[in-house]
Structure 1
Amino acid sequence: MAIINNALSGALAAQVALTASSQNIANLQTKGYTRQAALLTTIGPGADPRAAGNGVQASSLLRFSDGYKSQAMWRAASELGAHSQNQPYLSQLESVMGDKTASLSAGIDEFFGALNAVAGDPGSTPLRQQVLTSAGLMSERFNGLNNVFNAQLQSVRTQRSAIVDSANAQIATIARLNAQIGAANASGQNASSMIDARDQAIDDLAGKMALEVSDNADGTRNVSLKTGQALVLGGIYGTLKAAPTATSAQEFSLSFANTTYVLDAGRLGGQLGGLTRYETETLAPLQQDIADIARQIADKVNTQLGLGYKTDGTAGSALFAYTPGSGADMLKVASGFIVEDLAFSADGTPGDTGNLQKLVAVKSQPITVGSIGTVLLSDADTQLVGKLGVDSQLNKAALKTTTTVRTQSVDDWQSTSGVNQDEEAVNLVEYQNMYQANMKVISVANQLFDATLAMMG
């Protein structure tokens, strides 16, 4: 009887719909899961003009996915990644360079303060020794800060290498899932779970570098860098590489289809781009600025001492030794330098302080620092710390903004693709009622069939 076929189709369709809702509820807390629903369509009556129809069928399972919202979420992940990795480094430098008791400014002030103090008694051995001691302490501050810079450089490069390794794993995963999704779609299988896994891999990869994602007719997706180089084309994928160079920097490249492209990491976006810009635009210039200050202090003090005379009447010698690019020994007191070598006299007369006064005046002389130009020696460190503070505040503001945008984009994606517990609860009740109603129809049809048989008997 047609009535039984109709009711049976309704019961089966309700089962499919209930199964989809149960899957949604089961994955209520699954990250990246896209909710599904059965698409119910009526089965027409065919050629019989007296037939109402042949029931219903679950023609397909729908994925509630919006490509635009996914793209917006991936772009937000890239922007967030570009600022999130930099802030810990900026905050560390702010803390180290802004410490009033351990800053370069304090060390410079103490050194020139010691020079000023000895002016009242230029022959005092303890006061002269204090000059040497403060010179050594100032040097240690420069060297300690330089070591912080070198440690950050090493950390940034190690972190980028780890990001590249992780990105390569995700790129390979996207290509593998592309192949599986294409095969599933070709055979009519439900590929929703594989699509979710692929989109989650794309989202993770987008945090590491800015991406362009495009869809293909077979359900696969192509992924490329913002700079145009392809990372994934269907089931084919490339490999990123971060290799050290002779200068200890890193060179980034992409190998795809037997071709290797050299990449400008600063333009990659995401975590890789953000870390590279931090290194090239903040860390390396700041390290060079500090080295410039150390070099010019050494040059000016050594030059002035060379114009004076020691206690024994001989010409003065260099107090500082400056070694470019060195870590712990970038600036230090010259080996073998003793208090008697401090050439404070301008004319060789014992007790004269003419050259000492000129040494004290070095603090007020101008120096040239790469990122801030010509400034007084006494102001150089303060201005660098101020500039660093501005850079940190700008990054914090950008980080706050990108975090908000990312949160909003995820919420927007969830509004379409996420599971709504209340909605699924309503669906369960509705499809349960649908199933029970169709089973009731089958029961009525059986009663009619039995009555018909009884009449014929």
Structure 2
Amino acid sequence: MRMMQNALAGALAAQAALNAASQNISNVMTPGYSRQGVVLSAIAPSVGDPHSAGSGVDIQSIRRFNDQYRSLQMWQASANMGESAAKQGYLTQLEQVMSASGSSISGGLDNFYAALGAASVEPSSLALRQGVITEAGAMAQRFNNLNRVLSAQHASINEQRTALVTQVNSLGGSIARLNKEIVAATATGVNPSGLLDERDRKIDQLSGLVDVRVVNQNDGAISVTLRAGQPLVVGDSSSVMSTEAQLDGSQLIKLSFAQEKFTLNGGSIGSQLGGLNEYEKNSLKPMEDAIRTLASEVAGRINSQLAAGFDLPTTAGAAGTPGKALFVFDAQNPEAMLKLRPGIVAEDLAFASAADKPGGSGNLQKLIDIQSQALTVPGLGTVTLSDAYAQLLGRLASESQQNQSSLATAKVVRSQSEQDWKSTSGVNRDEEAMNIVEYQKMYQANMKVIAIANQLFDSTLAMFN
């Protein structure tokens, strides 16, 4: 009977819809799960049957509700957030170190020049001279401490970059594998929703490491590239990213795909990996150059001025001898870039401007004047010694504040993009509960039709008994 066939098709359709709704509810807390639903269509009447309303209902497909545009927005927001987040930890650490009273180079310079000022009252005082040496050593230690922090950040970035590259390769390989499985499932008529969800989760994780662009292919696979176009995944093949150490301690990022090889820069990578490159190139390296220049200028100018003066003779009535260096500067020594000359003693300080005036302060005053002399610092231009560090710190603080603002904005955008995605692709408990009730009624109604059809069939048979 047509009536029973229609009802059976309706009951099976309702059962499929109930299965989809139950799958949605069971995955309501599963991250990245896209809800599913049954797409139904009426079956047209058979040819030559003008009095038939139709042949029941057909389950066309199990639809995965996923808005690709909102997924792309979410991945882009993840990349933007990753780029700012990668830089902020290093910016905050460096700002805290440079601004702390116990490690500020500005404070060390102030203390050193205060000791020189105190010595100008009584230039022949060994105690005051020793105070100058003590403060010079303390200032040098501040330079070295900051230089060690900068070197440690370089090492940390290299380690973090290597770890991120490993993750990128792992995720790229997973996406390529999922591409292959999705293509196979689609070709054989198997529902690939679970595989598609897993692939989207991998892309989301990847976008937190590098800024990616995703293009759908006709067979169900996707292609993933960096924002500058270099391929990461094409079909079931993935690229291999690697780091290459340079002589100066930095790293290059290389990408190999098939027979092609690329050298990547921060501008083509984005997200966390690009953020690390950008911080290292635009913040850390310039700060390192500026601090080393500042240390070199301090050592060079102080030593040159001391060489123009005369020391304090240890024998009464003797003439002074030309001054010796106070500092030793070595840019290649991260642990002791600036240090006191070994063996320096209080009498060596050449405060006098003439050999026959060993207790004079003519050269000492010129040492004090160095504080207000102009010098050229990378990134700052021409500044005075006393202002250089303050300007470096101010520039760093401004950069950190701007990045914090960008990070806060990126977090808000990411959160909003997640909510937008959930509004179309996520599971709504209330909606699914309503669907279950409606499809249950649909199932019960069709089963009732089957029961009535059975009664009619039995009644028809009874007529012939």
Give the match for residue 265 of structure 1.
266
- Give, in angstroms, the shift of residue 412 of structure 1: 1.1
Are the equivalent residues in 2 in contact too, given 1:211–1:224 (CA < 8 A)? yes
CA distance in 2, matches of 1:101, 1:235: 56
2:267 pairs with 1:244: no
Written as runs of structure 1 = structure 2, the 5 A alignment for 1:120-199 is 120-199=121-200
Are the equivalent residues in 2 in contact too, given 1:309–1:343 (CA < 8 A)? yes
- Give, in angstroms, the shift of residue 289 of structure 1: 0.4
Written as runs of structure 1 = structure 2, the 5 A alignment for 1:18-417 is 18-47=18-47, 48-312=49-313, 313-348=320-355, 349-417=357-425
1:445 to 439, 453, 460: 453
For residues 312-354 of structure 1, give each alpha carbon's deviation from its aligned partner in whole angstroms, at most 9, with x where no partner exists: 2110011000001321210000111111100000012121110
> In structure 1, the residue corresponding to 2:255 is in which secondary structure?
strand
Are the equivalent residues in 1 in contact too, given 2:243–2:254 (CA < 8 A)? yes
> In structure 2, the residue corresponding to 1:283 is in which secondary structure?
helix
- Aligned positions, number: 457
- Give, in angstroms, the shift of residue 267 of structure 1: 2.7
* Aligned AA (1:36): Q
Are the equivalent residues in 2 in contact too, given 1:168–1:239 (CA < 8 A)? yes
- Give, in angstroms, the shift of residue 100 of structure 1: 2.5
> In structure 2, the residue corresponding to 1:371 is in which secondary structure?
coil
For residues 180-221 of structure 1, give each alpha carbon's deviation from its aligned partner in whole angstroms, at most 9, with x where no partner exists: 000111111100100111111111111111111111111110
2:443 pairs with 1:435: yes
CA distance in 2, matches of 1:350, 1:89: 50
CA distance in 2, matches of 1:266, 1:303: 44
Are the equivalent residues in 1 in contact too, given 2:103–2:145 (CA < 8 A)? no
CA distance in 2, matches of 1:294, 1:247: 20
CA distance in 1, matches of 2:75, 2:131: 59
- Give, in angstroms, the shift of residue 125 of structure 1: 1.4
CA distance in 1, matches of 2:192, 2:230: 28
> In structure 1, the residue corresponding to 2:60 is in which secondary structure?
strand
CA distance in 2, matches of 1:3, 1:110: 100
For residues 409-455 of structure 1, give each alpha carbon's deviation from its aligned partner in whole angstroms, at most 9, with x where no partner exists: 11111111111111001001000111111111111111111111111
Moved over 3 A (4+): none
Are the equivalent residues in 1 in contact too, given 2:323–2:348 (CA < 8 A)? yes
Are the equivalent residues in 2 in contact too, given 1:79–1:270 (CA < 8 A)? yes
CA distance in 2, matches of 1:101, 1:364: 23
CA distance in 2, matches of 1:409, 1:325: 48
Are the equivalent residues in 2 in contact too, given 1:13–1:56 (CA < 8 A)? yes
Are the equivalent residues in 1 in contact too, given 2:24–2:35 (CA < 8 A)? yes
> In structure 1, the residue corresponding to 2:208 is in which secondary structure?
helix
Give the match for residue 8 of structure 1.
8
* Aligned AA (2:409): T
Are the equivalent residues in 2 in contact too, given 1:115–1:360 (CA < 8 A)? yes
- Give, in angstroms, the shift of residue 145 of structure 1: 0.3
Deviates more, 1:69-78 or 1:162-171: 69-78
* Aligned AA (1:415): S
- Give, in angstroms, the shift of residue 144 of structure 1: 0.2
Are the equivalent residues in 1 in contact too, given 2:176–2:235 (CA < 8 A)? yes
CA distance in 2, matches of 1:126, 1:451: 124
For residues 46-89 of structure 1, give each alpha carbon's deviation from its aligned partner in whole angstroms, at most 9, with x where no partner exists: 12111121111221001111121111111111111110111111
For residues 22-43 of structure 1, give each alpha carbon's deviation from its aligned partner in whole angstroms, at most 9, with x where no partner exists: 1111111111111100001111
* Aligned AA (1:16): A
> In structure 2, the residue corresponding to 1:71 is in which secondary structure?
helix
Are the equivalent residues in 2 in contact too, given 1:266–1:274 (CA < 8 A)? no
Are the equivalent residues in 1 in contact too, given 2:20–2:38 (CA < 8 A)? yes
> In structure 2, the residue corresponding to 1:178 is in which secondary structure?
helix
> In structure 1, the residue corresponding to 2:463 is in which secondary structure?
helix
* Aligned AA (2:263): V
Of all paired residues, the percent bearing the same amino acid is 48
Are the equivalent residues in 1 in contact too, given 2:375–2:383 (CA < 8 A)? yes
Are the equivalent residues in 2 in contact too, given 1:252–1:265 (CA < 8 A)? no
- Give, in angstroms, the shift of residue 259 of structure 1: 2.1
Are the equivalent residues in 1 in contact too, given 2:217–2:223 (CA < 8 A)? yes
Are the equivalent residues in 2 in contact too, given 1:266–1:272 (CA < 8 A)? no
> In structure 2, the residue corresponding to 1:456 is in which secondary structure?
coil
2:434 pairs with 1:426: yes
Deviates more, 1:242-251 or 1:283-292: 242-251
CA distance in 1, matches of 2:377, 2:423: 52
CA distance in 2, matches of 1:99, 1:83: 24
